[in-house]
């Protein structure tokens, strides 16, 4: 069961480009990335596309398919009508390199700005004891495959280039939450979440959660709990008072 699929793929680089129409064979059971590969092998050998595992585990083949940020390897062709035009463009939040490949270095820069795990001073390797219930929350966030689709879809930087400097994006705010919930992390991260990583920019419109291929509940489980933790520290006089009293030596 194969048919001629109609594809519209953006070709170009940072200087400019255009959506080009292609007709290409589509077979049963294929995903968008298969078809893009067939285009490469038969019609456009120099079409740039970034991919790696082709199994939804590495997060390399991020693009926008019919306008939605998606992994090309996880987007099945049978989700489209046979006569439907499938539009594939690069991610639109990052600078384009060529065709479907974008420069995602913004994300690596932001990753560096999150202070690393701070091991407890008094424990040697092999002495760490943690309960499963205590690691589960952070484990969910560690499922992240760093496809950066959440960063791509987040309107804070997608629609406002100028915010890139002061906003880390959902991926790295989630990383802050992951470390803040790590049972043995010894660093204080709550003020920094708001002041350095720009948590206050987030207006919880949940597009990051919507596009996450790992189905991590980024907003509900990382960003909102982090906002509440920040509220404890910065916006809640009662908690502030309570902490003051409790910390007083008995």
Partner 1 sequence: MTELERHSYDVVVIGAGGAGLRAAIEAREQGKKTAIICKSLFGKAHTVMAEGGCAAAMGNANSNDNWQVHYRDTMRGGKFLNNWRMAELHAQEAPDRVWELETYGALFDRTPDGRISQRNFGGHTYPRLAHVGDRTGLELIRTLQQKIVSLQQEDFEATGDYEANLKVYAECTITELMKDGDAISGAFGYWRESGRFILFDAPAVVLATGGVGKSFKVTSNSWEYTGDGHALAMRAGATLINMEFIQFHPTGMVWPPSVKGILVTESVRGDGGVLKNSEGKRFMFDYVPDVFRAQYADNEEEADRWYKDADNNRRPPELLPRDEVARAINSEVKAGRGTPHGGVFLDVSTRLPAEEITRRLPSMHHQFKELADVDITKEPMEVGPTCHYVMGGVEVDPDTASSTVPGLFAAGEVAGGMHGSNRLGGNSLSDLLVFGRRAGMGAATYVDGLQERPKIDEADVDSAATEALAPFELEGGENPYSIHQDLQQSMNDLVGIIRKEEEMERALGRLAEFRGRIAKMTVEGHRQFNPGWHLALDLRNMLTVSECVAGAALLRQESRGGHTRDDFPEMSPEWRKKLLVCKLDAEGHVNVTEEQQIPMREDLLELFEVDELKKYLTDEELPAK
Partner 2 sequence: MATGVDSPGRAQIGLKTARSDRWWLAPLRIGVILLFFVVYATIRIFMNKWYWVDEFHYLTPLYSPCVTSSCVEGSSHLGTWFGDFPRFVPFSLITFVILAGFRGTCYYYRKAGYRSLFFAPAACAVPEPHKTYTGERKFPLVALNLHRYFFYGALVFGLLNVYDGVQAFHGKDGGFGIGLGTVIIWVNLVCLWLYTLSCHACRHIVGGRLKNFSKHPLRYRYWTFVSKLNPKHGTFAMTSLFTVILTDFYIMALAAGWFSDLRIIN
Residues binding partner 2 (CB under 8 A): 10, 12, 14, 16-19, 64, 66-69, 87, 89-90, 92-96, 102, 131, 133-134, 152-153, 155-156, 158-163, 180-181, 183, 194, 198, 200-207, 210-211, 217, 220, 224-225, 227-232, 234-236
Q: Is 65 in the site for partner 1 (CB under 8 A)?
A: no
Contact 98, 10 (CB under 8 A): no
Q: Closer CB to partner 2, residue 53 or residue 85?
A: 85
- Asked if 249 interacts with partner 1 (CB under 8 A), we say no
Is residue 182 within 8 Å of residue 195, measured between CB atoms? no
**Distance from C-alpha of 131 to C-alpha of 135, rounded to nearest angstrom:** 7
CA distance 194 to 163: 14
Q: How far is the CB of 76 from partner 2 (least distance, A)?
A: 16
Of 10 and 51, nearer to partner 1 (C-beta) is 51
Burial of 33 from C-beta contacts in 10 A (0-12 / 13-18 / 19+):
buried
Q: What H or E segment, with its residue span, contains residue 131?
A: none
Closest CA to 153 of 98, 100, 92, 213: 92
Q: Which stretch binds partner 1 (CB under 8 A): 91-99, 190-198, 199-207, 216-224?
A: 91-99
Give the residue with the Cβ less far from partner 1, 37 or 234.
37
Nearer to partner 1, 70 or 229 (CB): 70
């Amino acid at each position: 069961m194969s048919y001629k699929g109609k594809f519209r793929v953006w070709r170009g680089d940072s200087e400019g480009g255009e959506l080009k129409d292609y007709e290409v064979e589509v077979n049963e059971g294929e995903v968008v990335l298969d078809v893009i590969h067939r285009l490469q092998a038969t019609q456009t050998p120099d079409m740039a596309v970034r991919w790696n595992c082709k199994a939804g585990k590495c997060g390399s083949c991020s693009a926008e398919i019919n306008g939605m940020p998606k992994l090309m390897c996880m987007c099945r062709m049978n989700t489209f009508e046979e006569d439907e035009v499938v539009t594939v463009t690069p991610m639109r939040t990052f600078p384009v390199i060529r065709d479907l490949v974008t420069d995602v270095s913004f994300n690596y820069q932001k990753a560096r700005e999150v202070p690393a795990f701070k091991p407890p001073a008094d424990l040697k390797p092999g002495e760490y004891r943690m309960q499963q219930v205590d690691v589960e929350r952070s484990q969910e966030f560690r499922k992240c495959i760093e496809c950066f689709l959440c960063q791509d879809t987040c309107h804070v930087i997608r629609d406002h280039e100028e915010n890139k400097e002061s906003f880390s994006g959902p991926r790295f705010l989630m990383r802050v939450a992951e470390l803040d919930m790590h049972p043995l992390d010894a660093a204080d991260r709550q003020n920094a979440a708001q002041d350095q990583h720009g948590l206050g920019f987030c207006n919880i419109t949940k597009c990051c959660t919507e596009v996450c291929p790992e189905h991590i509940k980024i907003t509900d489980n990382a960003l909102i709990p982090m906002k509440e933790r920040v509220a404890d520290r910065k916006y809640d006089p009662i908690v502030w008072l309570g902490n003051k009293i409790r910390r007083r030596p008995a």
